[in-house]
Amino acid sequence: MPNLSIKDVPEELAQALRERAARNHRSLQGELMAIIHQAVQAGGVAGPTPNATPFEGRRGTRTMEDFARESRILFPEPVRGGPQAVDIIRADRDSR
């Protein structure tokens, strides 16, 4: 999976993104991924898999379907039915 980098982000914008991520109970990486998915869908470009968009409902409320959808985005290649717990923990730790 490719990595993207944005350089010279103004501190005010970076802080606003961190606050938005915290409000949505996401890491900064997760919030940026959600923004990218939303932008791609708004432009009419198909995402990686159907219905594989991060949570877009009420703030602070996430269902198991939301977690499963985000998991499919973060770990597109299933390993015996899904990602291993250790992979999820490592990805979360590395996103900070």
Pure H helices in 1-96: 11-23, 28-42, 64-74, 85-94
Domain that holds residue 24: 11-94
* Residue 58 located in a structural domain: yes
* Residue 36 located in a structural domain: yes
CA distance linking residue 82 with residue 72, whole number of Å: 8
Contacts by residues 84-93 (CB-CB < 8 Å, ≥ 24 positions apart): 92/27
Cα–Cα nearest to 29, from 21, 41, 37: 21
Cα–Cα nearest to 38, from 57, 60, 19: 57
* Residue 6 located in a structural domain: no
Per-residue pLDDT of the chain (96 residues; tens, 9 = 90+): 788 888 999 999 999 999 999 998 889 998 898 888 888 887 755 545 444 444 454 456 677 887 778 877 776 665 556 667 777 888 888 888
